[in-house]
Structure 1
Amino acid sequence: MTPWEVAAVCAAGVGAGAINAVVGSGSLITFPALVAVGVDPVVANVSNSIGLVPGSFTGAYGYRAELAGQRQRLVKLGVASLIGSLIGGLLLLWLDPDVFQIVVPILIGLACVLVVIQPKLNGWLSARREHAHPDGGVVLWLGVLGAGVYGGYFGAAQGVLLIGLLGSFLADGLQRVNAAKNVLSLIVNGAAAVLFILVAEVDWWAVAGIAVGATIGGYIGAKVGRKIPAPVLRGIIVCVGIAAIIKLVYA
């Protein structure tokens, strides 16, 4: 990668880190950026997962006040995220790369749909919240496990999936749900990153660019991300996602 390409990837990392802290669709920014500068899609996915870990940490840390009283719940759900992430990461490494080329445009499309319908999802969650289970139960644990598999394999909009699951089954406000989502996303990204570092091909320039940008972006997102107009944010994410689909399908 040239210095200008690293700088572009770093800029994408800033956007992704901020978006992950608020919405959870940052990979729809960084993954297309890596593919656009010529990184192999599977290597781009692996490098993206590793690079976003510091941003996941700063995003979770920024919501530390909303995490008060959630330790027991997050330990239990964190185990599901960890197991699911490792399963998803192994699927990425074991399946034929051609499967990834076919499946990822579909997953990006699903992620874009989730981002678009999130306002309606939030309204539905608000209606359900008074009937939610205090700890979520077995169904939530299994749902978080499935989200972990998705996140370990690809990860775009895993945060939206987690918000939907947690908001449906926990009797908490959306800010506390979002804080829990950030912790679980950190576990998914961190577990996948360790696995990929040990056994996968990694583009370390890509990792460095995303890591620096995502660390800054995660901090910004946790501090001021709530002030970004939601329709603008969703519009940007969807446009980037559509561009990524076109790039992958017609490259």
Structure 2
Amino acid sequence: MTIGVFVFLIIAGVLGGLLASIAGLASLVSYPALLLIGIPPVVANVTNTAGLVLSGIGATASSTKELRGEGKTVAGLVALALSGGILGSVLLLVEPASTFEHVVPFFILISGILLLVSGRQAARKPIAALRDQNKWGVAAKALGIFLVGAYTGYFGAAGGVILLAILTLTLPQRFAVLNAFKNVMAFMANAVATVIYAARGKVDWLLVIPLGLGFLVGGYCGPVVVRHAPVKLLRTLIAFGAFGLAAYLFVKAYF
């Protein structure tokens, strides 16, 4: 690896870490960056996931204010995301790369739409909170988070956007707190997926070093931005970022 590639991946990691901890959209930058230097799609994905563990560490450390007193809620959410992450990472290792490349754009498109919808629901928090007390609402939320965990383990691009949408629709906390929940859940799902990938020897650890350093810095800075930025603007930018990533990956997969 040349010095130029090393610096390029650090920069991609910083930007990706910011996007991961703000929006769950690290792969808008980091995944294409790995493809750009010639890494095959599945190897790029698992290497990106390993690097994202560092983003999760930085974001969690930076979110202590939002996470204070939320241990019970976070533990339940993390358990669901972890279970799904194990399933998704195993699926990625057994399914062909062509399947992986062709389904991802649609997941990301749906995630952007969900976030825009969740933004419109934000003003009706009391309704969402009441819905969450219904056993079917609780079951639907649990299943949704499990499936997003599986998606995070399988690919994860814009997985955080889907998590934000689900959390916004079902929990009454502020956006910054929900974003902190998302960061912890994504961190744990990426960590367990990385362990599984490493056991199969799929991760390019040499590339994880510069990418992870950038992710750590960007991940730490992201929650600070969310703490002070306008929520409506953030949701809109995140959603359209997801649409852009979906379009890019769709063109790459089908044309």
The two structures share one fold, judged by TM-score above 0.5: yes
Are 2:154 and 1:157 aligned?
A: no
- Counterpart of 2:247 in structure 1 is 242
Change (3 A) 1:129 1:50: farther
Are 2:147 and 1:122 aligned?
A: no
- Counterpart of 2:14 in structure 1 is 14
Amino acid of the residue matched to residue 125 of structure 1?
A
- Counterpart of 1:45 in structure 2 is 45
Determine the C-alpha separation between the residues in 2 that align with 1:45 and 1:129. Answer: 39
Structure 2 residue runs without a partner (length 5+): none
Amino acid of the residue matched to residue 184 of structure 1?
M
Determine the C-alpha separation between the residues in 1 that align with 2:196 and 2:102. Answer: 23
How far does the alpha carbon of each residue in 1:135-184 deviate from its partner, in whole angstroms, 9 at most, with x for none?
97333222110110111101011111111111222222222111111111
Q: Is the 8 A contact 1:29 1:237 kept in 2?
A: no
How far does the alpha carbon of each residue in 1:164-215 deviate from its partner, in whole angstroms, 9 at most, with x for none?
1112222222221111111111111111111111114221222112101100
Structure 1 residue runs without a partner (length 5+): none
Change (3 A) 1:205 1:32: same
Shift of 1:233: 6.4
Q: Helix, strand or coil: the match of 1:52? A: helix
Change (3 A) 1:183 1:109: same
Change (3 A) 1:234 1:140: closer
Shift of 1:243: 3.5
How far does the alpha carbon of each residue in 1:89-110 deviate from its partner, in whole angstroms, 9 at most, with x for none?
0000011222123223433444
- Counterpart of 1:80 in structure 2 is 80
Change (3 A) 1:234 1:104: closer
Q: CA RMSD in A?
A: 2.4
Determine the C-alpha separation between the residues in 2 that align with 1:94 and 1:48. Answer: 18
Change (3 A) 1:248 1:12: farther
Determine the C-alpha separation between the residues in 1 that align with 2:121 and 2:197. Answer: 37
Q: Is the 8 A contact 1:92 1:100 kept in 2?
A: yes
- Counterpart of 1:107 in structure 2 is 107
Q: TM-score, normalized by length of structure 2?
A: 0.86
- Residue correspondence of structure 1 range 83-232 to structure 2 within 5 A: 83-111=83-111, 113-114=112-113, 118-132=115-129, 133=132, 137-225=138-226, 226-227=228-229, 230=234
Change (3 A) 1:149 1:129: farther
Report how many aligned residue pairs link the two structures.
247
Q: Which runs of 4+ in 1 moved over 6 A?
A: none
Change (3 A) 1:85 1:232: closer
Determine the C-alpha separation between the residues in 2 that align with 1:7 and 1:244. Answer: 24
